Structure 1
Amino acid sequence: MDGKAVKAILFDLDNTLIETSLAGVVGIQKSSELLKTTLGLDDNTISSICAKFKQKLLHEDFDPSDGGSIDDVRVRHWEESIKETVGDCSVPSLGAQCYYTWKNSRLEALRLSPEVCDLLKGLRGAYKLLLLTNGHSQTQREKVETVGCEEFFNAVVIGGDHAEQKPHLSIFTLCFNMLRVEARDCVMVGDSLDTDIQGGFNAGVRATVWINRAKAAVSDGSVKPDYTLTTVLDLPDILAQLQ
């Protein structure tokens, strides 16, 4: 470290500032209850449908230029998951019901905790803050609006609005230009080694901070973060070391 002061902090959103994974569990639980009530399915069959949906979500390839919305795509994920597991469904709208139950329940479960709000308020007085999140424009904007976090940041950048997302250098360069800072002035904070930490490394930021809630080991071949925390709330301790 060269001892130069940090001027800006780039934050990831999902599982860094908000617990998206836990909210996803809530969404799946609510959709499971709907499936059980509507079709009277057993728990194993319901689990199979939900597992298929999560796999389709994980490997999703959405291109808005093809027409339709991300909502349309995810309704089809549920429709296909149900059909692949139990065959043709007697309730034609069930896929849509499952999707909107999952989506709305997940959004309702998302929140910016009072502690994280206090952290961002405190940092905002000393640093420029930017939210940099990967994902589809609509889904990420819905999260940002739901948790009301935009007020804490100088700028919000959603990967789906741009040609390249994290870890590509271009989106980091965009962020630096928006904040009028150099890469060496910035710290990147996020939960993903592959996107947040690798992206920060590619961009040449001052330091990378990995939020590792699960205390997972860094696998061989992965980029090594400069710092590792189990909660973003401990970030001020790292920043004090960098000044």
Structure 2
Amino acid sequence: MIKAIIFDLDDTLYYELEYVKSGFKAVSNYIASKYKISSDAFYNKLLEVLKSEGRGKTFNIALEDFQLPLDEVKNLIELYRNHQPKRFELYPDAKSAISRFKGKYKLGLITDGHSTVQWNKIKALGIEKGFDEIIVSDDYGVDKRKPSSFPYLTIIKKFNLRPEEAVYIGDNPDKDFITARKLGLKTVRIIREKGMHIDKRLSEEYEADYRIKSLDELDKVLEL
């Protein structure tokens, strides 16, 4: 019998690109004020680089394209990580699910990423009180990120439950499900209309037990 529902955060409960755009806006405003460069131009360049190159060297490439000093990278990273996001909301079905399941199940959240960034997201979304337990893996060390067993076992222990009494919902087959399944948790992959991992298809061991397109479908999975 399922007694706990554990969610991933990014692209599961909200659209992560909205946070990224918010950070890019903060960075672009800083560059514009310091170097008299169009904020919109730098912002659009960041989005262009993100789309073509992915994460990792976004700031480096944009600075090079505008012939700006690369020693600004550290400043941009800090600004991005510490900015307070705006226009930032849960998906409607996520808001509904938290409200619907609160009190009926123990609710947990596991999220990877820089601690300051992830906690800023959680606070901006206003969801701290919606969960009984929240695990930001980087609070314990980068090596504790999924697919490490640490965040799953830690939250299960906090709930005083067995793994088979919990279900985990995420969106990224690279890391979300392989360990959770091995530990005995029921796993659910949400594939939304947009998101970083919607087109990923991996071998069966990396996939979840169930797939859904909306958290409104989760009730049916819990009955299985």
Aligned to 1:129, what secondary structure does the other structure show? strand
Deviation at 1:82, TM superposition (A): 4.0
For residues 40 and 140 of structure 1, what CA distance do their matches in structure 2 show? Answer: 29
Per the alignment, residue 166 of structure 2 pairs with 186
After the TM superposition, which residues 28-67 of structure 1 pair with which residues of structure 2 at under 5 Å, given as runs? 28=24, 38-40=36-38, 47-52=44-49, 58-59=55-56
Per the alignment, residue 231 of structure 1 pairs with 214
Deviation at 1:116, TM superposition (A): 2.6
2:187 pairs, out of 208, 222, 232, with 208
2:68 pairs, out of 74, 82, 88, with 88
Per the alignment, residue 132 of structure 1 pairs with 110
After the TM superposition, which residues 92-241 of structure 1 pair with which residues of structure 2 at under 5 Å, given as runs? 100=79, 104=83, 107-113=85-91, 115-163=93-141, 164-205=144-185, 207-214=186-193, 216=199, 218-220=201-203, 223-240=206-223
Deviation at 1:52, TM superposition (A): 4.7
Gaps of 5+ in 2: none
- 1:175-218 superposed Cα distances (whole Å, 9 cap, x missing partner): 1100000001110101111222223123221x110011145362
Letter in 2 for 1:147: L
For residues 136 and 39 of structure 2, what CA distance do their matches in structure 1 show? Answer: 39
Aligned to 1:126, what secondary structure does the other structure show? coil
- 1:142-189 superposed Cα distances (whole Å, 9 cap, x missing partner): 111111111111111101012311111122111110000000111010
For residues 41 and 162 of structure 1, what CA distance do their matches in structure 2 show? Answer: 36
Q: Quick check: which has more Rg, 1 or 2? A: 1
Aligned to 1:116, what secondary structure does the other structure show? helix
Q: Mark the CA change 1:142 to 1:34 in structure 2 (over 3 Å): closer, same or farther.
A: closer
Tell whether the 8 Å contact from 1:129 to 1:153 is kept in structure 2 after alignment.
yes
Letter in 2 for 1:118: S
Q: Mark the CA change 1:226 to 1:41 in structure 2 (over 3 Å): closer, same or farther.
A: closer
Q: Are 2:10 and 1:14 equivalent residues in the alignment?
A: yes
For residues 27 and 95 of structure 1, what CA distance do their matches in structure 2 show? Answer: 14
Q: Mark the CA change 1:26 to 1:162 in structure 2 (over 3 Å): closer, same or farther.
A: closer
Tell whether the 8 Å contact from 1:8 to 1:128 is kept in structure 2 after alignment.
yes
Q: Mark the CA change 1:120 to 1:85 in structure 2 (over 3 Å): closer, same or farther.
A: same
Tell whether the 8 Å contact from 2:190 to 2:212 is kept in structure 1 after alignment.
yes
Aligned to 1:138, what secondary structure does the other structure show? helix
Tell whether the 8 Å contact from 1:133 to 1:158 is kept in structure 2 after alignment.
yes
- Please tell me the root mean square deviation across aligned C-alpha atoms, in Å: 3.6
For residues 130 and 12 of structure 1, what CA distance do their matches in structure 2 show? Answer: 9
For residues 130 and 160 of structure 1, what CA distance do their matches in structure 2 show? Answer: 16
Gaps of 5+ in 1: 61-76
**Percentage of pairs with the same residue:** 22
**TM-score relative to the length of structure 1:** 0.72
Deviation larger for 21-30 or 133-142:
21-30
